[in-house]
Amino acid sequence: MTVLTEPKRVGAGVFAPRQLLTSLPDALRKLDPRHQVRNPVLFVVWAGSVLVTVFAVADPSVFSVAVAVWLWFTVLFANLAEAVAEGRGKAQAESLRRAKRDTVAQRIVADGSRERVPGADLRVGDLVVVEAGEVIPGDGDVVEGIATVDESAITGESAPVIRESGGDRSAVTGGTTVLSDRIVVRIATKPGESFVDRMIALVEGARRQKTPNEVALTILLATLTIIFLLAVVALQPMSAYSGARQSVTVLTALLVCLIPTTIGALLSAIGIAGMDRLVQRNVLATSGRAVEAAGDVSTLLLDKTGTITFGNRQATELIPIGVTTVHELAVAARLSSLADETPEGRSIVALCAKEHGLLKGATDRERAAKFVPFTAQTRMSGIDLDGRRVRKGAASAVREWVVDQGGLVPDEVRDVVDRIGAEGGTPLVCAEGRIVRGVIRLSDVVKPGMRQRFGELRAMGIKTVMITGDNPLTARAIAEEAGVDDYLADAKPEDKMALIRAEQEGGRLVAMTGDGTNDAPALAQADVGVAMNTGTMAAKEAGNMVDLDSDPTKLIEIVEIGKQLLITRGALTTFSIANDLAKYFAILPAMFAAVYPQLDRLNIMHLHSPDSAILSAVVFNALVIVGLIPLALRGVRYRPAGAQSLLRRNLLVYGLGGIVTPFAGIWLIDLLVRLIPGM
């Protein structure tokens, strides 16, 4: 196993011309026919380049040599696009490799003793002890203890995090450092299969598989190439019959300009760049299929706490019941929360101290009392002090406890609880013995801008569903404030699964986030399952993406990245097909104008000669690939909009632009080509 210091990350959205030069050696190596044959479009261009080169050597002329040179440039520039995209990933991987160093693990053997072994010798299921200052030797789960961990080498975040056994924050990543305390970790991955190793393989692009959409587009491009190849082959007998027999050089130039060379050259770079943008946002995708699925998602399942709201519910109001005064309620609420170390419990003590002048800390007498900590089973916390028994917790749990004491719960309690829930708050009932003292209001705040973001998603045709364990009244209030389309209250694992299946049966692709073992079935069922890095290994193995920053709101960014990938591919495909129109006007009149003078009317660019027209089209066909590499890497700018709006923008910008740009480009190149002696 190896360890990392924080690597230098390579910018995703910035394109530097220097990258062209540094990637040139890789582009030259890709001229190998064994590599070219993987891309049918570029293989035809490569074969045409070889053929034209042979004829140029056998019967040299300025025209044939120039066409041969620029056909090779076309193949080279196409390889350069892929090499530049891969080069950025390799730079990231190299920075990770340089930061590695060997580490040794303290493995627990059968008799309970420890042995020191290299991290690379660890196997799945091994238990290792990691103490303060030591590096965690492999990915796994904490099975004993609690510790603060520095994850900056993986996430880039300098603030330490808490990792503990028995919860949803038990997963640890190999290469991170324990800062305090001691933990026992059960190794969950084999050597070479850790998140760091998978990240390196991902950013290198070495194991990137073509996605279904990419495969479908490749088949379409191959079909178009075959059609145009047959058309060009059939053109020679017709040319011979009309007395305008064409050379192999001219026919090859026509074929290269007719087939969709541009998108064929950029297709791989677009896919690699899309994965790169995810990595730059600290999201590890297990496949390109998940990225594409994110672009087609039509339903988003979002957890309420920490995603839609800040998640740090705070006590904001004390509401006394019956004859109890606010001060009496404050005293009881403080006592019941002294043993509650949750953020909510601490906020209750702080509220009582701030607004009612009570002590924040426990007195010596209170420390000697019997504390009743909060548990998920009892859903209450409290204290037994000098015969006083004080409890606070969920309304139903406190109600049962009061009844067991022989007391009665006034109807006013239910009314206050319902009102707080309807207003989006969380009610906690406080009781002392048989008497209900009052209700504590906990408030969670919706993050700013969420309504706007959900509105943008709605405009894109994406349905948002909030998932929460809150009661239906609270869930409805938060849902209305945040602007989500639907909500699922009192959510259990089986409820999430049922909801995902119902959406999928309706033909929708579903994305969701999760971090706990109970989320694993739903993450596996979802088309895009984003597991939090702080979550359990079960959750991370079930999902097809892992967010190293553990930011649930990043799901929205992931969807935007997926859509940007699909939009970029569609835009450049539109541009590639549209710019062939200008090449027709350049080459076809040049080929037959001598036999059919009427075709000269189609020479609307008034190109100098047939040879200069054909060469100008070939040169433009090569240069446009280089010009579009930055756009393929950066991606088309994404704006949330509906399908009709995106299609209209595609046609206006890239369709019309694909028609106009070649006319201007070929005309300008012709002005330079005509200056070449012999042309």
Q: For residue 49, what pLDDT is reported? A: 93
Domain-terminating residue out of 443, 467, 489:
443
Report residue 90's pLDDT band, with 50, 70 and 90 as the boundaries: low
Q: For residue 428, what pLDDT is reported? A: 92
Same domain, 343 and 420: yes
270 neighbors 565 (Cβ within 8 angstroms): yes
In a domain, 554, yes or no: no
483 neighbors 463 (Cβ within 8 angstroms): no
Same domain, 537 and 590: no
Same domain, 479 and 526: yes
Question: CA separation (Å) from 497 to 296, 448, 503, 553?
Answer: 20, 29, 10, 21
- Find the Cα–Cα–Cα–Cα dihedral 430, 431, 437, 439, rounded to 10°: 20
Reduced to 3 states, what is the DSSP secondary structure of residue 319?
strand
Same domain, 171 and 220: no
Q: How many domains does the chain have?
A: 4
On whether 392 is known to bind a ligand per the annotation, the reply is yes
Cβ of 3: how many Cβ atoms within 10 Å? 20
Least confident of 31-40, 296-305, 473-482, 603-612: 603-612
Type of residue numbered 205 = G
Q: For residue 47, what pLDDT is reported? A: 93
180 neighbors 132 (Cβ within 8 angstroms): yes
Same domain, 430 and 339: yes
On whether 194 is known to bind a ligand per the annotation, the reply is no
On whether 379 is known to bind a ligand per the annotation, the reply is yes
Same domain, 512 and 618: no
Is 32 one of the annotated active-site residues of the chain? no
Structure tokens at 521: 């079935």
93 phi/psi in degrees, rounded to 5? -65, -40
288 neighbors 543 (Cβ within 8 angstroms): no
Q: For residue 98, what pLDDT is reported? A: 52
Same domain, 594 and 526: no
Candidates 276, 303, 547, 580; catalytic one: 303
On whether 374 is known to bind a ligand per the annotation, the reply is yes
Read off the pLDDT of each residue in 81-99 and give the average, rounded to a whole number. 66
Same domain, 544 and 570: no
Spatial separation of the C-alpha atoms in residues 338 and 331, rounded to whole Å? 11
In a domain, 97, yes or no: no
Domain-terminating residue out of 412, 428, 443:
443
In a domain, 596, yes or no: yes
Partners of 266 in the beta sheet?
A: none
What pTM, to 2 d.p., does this model score? Answer: 0.67
Same domain, 584 and 646: yes
CATH for 328: 3.40.1110.10
Residue 68, pLDDT above cutoff 90: yes
On whether 90 is known to bind a ligand per the annotation, the reply is no
Spell 599-628 as b/e; 16+ CB within 10 A means b: eeeebebebbebbbbbbbbbbbbbbbbbeb
Structure tokens at 304: 């309420």
Q: In terms of residue numbers, what domain contains 467?
A: 290-308+447-548
Q: For residue 209, what pLDDT is reported? A: 60
In a domain, 99, yes or no: no
In a domain, 266, yes or no: yes
